[in-house]
Structure 1
Amino acid sequence: MTENTGGQPQRPYEQPQQPIQINNHIVVVNQKSTLLAYVLWFFLGQLGIHKFYLGQVVAGVVYLALGVIGWATTFILIGWVPLGVLWILLIIDIF
């Protein structure tokens, strides 16, 4: 141990301790509106915009892909399959 100028022993590997301040606060940032989510669902649900708004990006991409692929291939009748899946998911979203 070495001695500092105050006469107190100090170990060379110890750092002087700083006071620690702990705050227990919860901050709510960006609270989402349920009403706006339903309005987006009603008007732009087949594009998954309501999912993007709610922060569910993966689900939004799935909805968008199902909608675009479904509507783009309806003329060969296969598009009704992804649209059917999309519409079932949209009905589930109501609840």
Structure 2
Amino acid sequence: MSFGKKGVVPGQSGAMSPTVRVAGPRPAAPIRPAAPDPHAAQREAFLAAERARRASSGEEQEQMNIPYPRRQAPSGGYGLFGDPAKRTLMLAYVYWYFCSPLGVHRFYCGAKETGYYQMALFLGGLAIMLIWPPLGLLSLGAWFVWIIVDLFLIPGLMRRFKAEHRPDYGEVFA
């Protein structure tokens, strides 16, 4: 038994072996020069004029090196919960489960105003419960229904919040 080339008898050189076609990529066709681009000169002139305009208008060079502008809070950060791109739906549900009386899940999803309303409805319901229990129970019942509805609204809130804070690539490709 021989472990050499197939079809070669021991003692015979490989040059006399039959030609075997191996499946694989075909050799590339010769590359033809591309047809001249009729708009190349116009494009180059436009880019040169745009660079000159930016240089003369005093736009910062640093701004031109940034791939896209990041939207941040005025303080330079994103607040208590961090970068909106890193927020997860799972953590929003954890906040809903453990901190729903304070509306923390709504703050996490970017709905601050309704988060304040939800917190006020819960705390107001507790306070009214001490004064007139039927009205307190009614407001706590409304809060409870809102919390259950939030179970289904959280994905949409999170999707809308992330879409609002997504980087704007329009300025890069404009």
The two structures have a TM-score, normalised by structure 2, of 0.39
Alignment-derived partner of residue 43 in structure 1 = 98
Size of the aligned set, in residue pairs, is 79
- Between structures 1 and 2, the one with greater strand share: 1
Q: CA deviation at 1:25?
A: 5.2
Which of 64, 78, 87 is matched with 2:144 structurally?
87
Please identify runs of 4+ aligned residues in structure 1 that moved more than 6 A. none
Structure 1 residue runs without a partner (length 5+): 1-16
RMSD, matched Cα: 2.5
Which of structures 1 and 2 has the larger relative contact order (alpha carbons within 8 angstroms, sep 6+)?
Answer: 2
Say which one has the larger Rg.
2
The two structures have a TM-score, normalised by structure 1, of 0.68
Q: Deviations over 1:21-63 (max 9, x none)?
A: 7x98596952221111111111110111110111101110110
Aligned with 1:55: secondary structure? coil
Alignment-derived partner of residue 122 in structure 2 = 67
Aligned with 2:84: secondary structure? coil
Q: CA deviation at 1:92?
A: 0.6
Which of 100, 111, 114 is matched with 1:56 structurally?
111
Structure 2 residue runs without a partner (length 5+): 1-51, 56-63, 72-82, 153-174
Percent of aligned pairs with the same amino acid: 29
Alignment-derived partner of residue 30 in structure 1 = 84
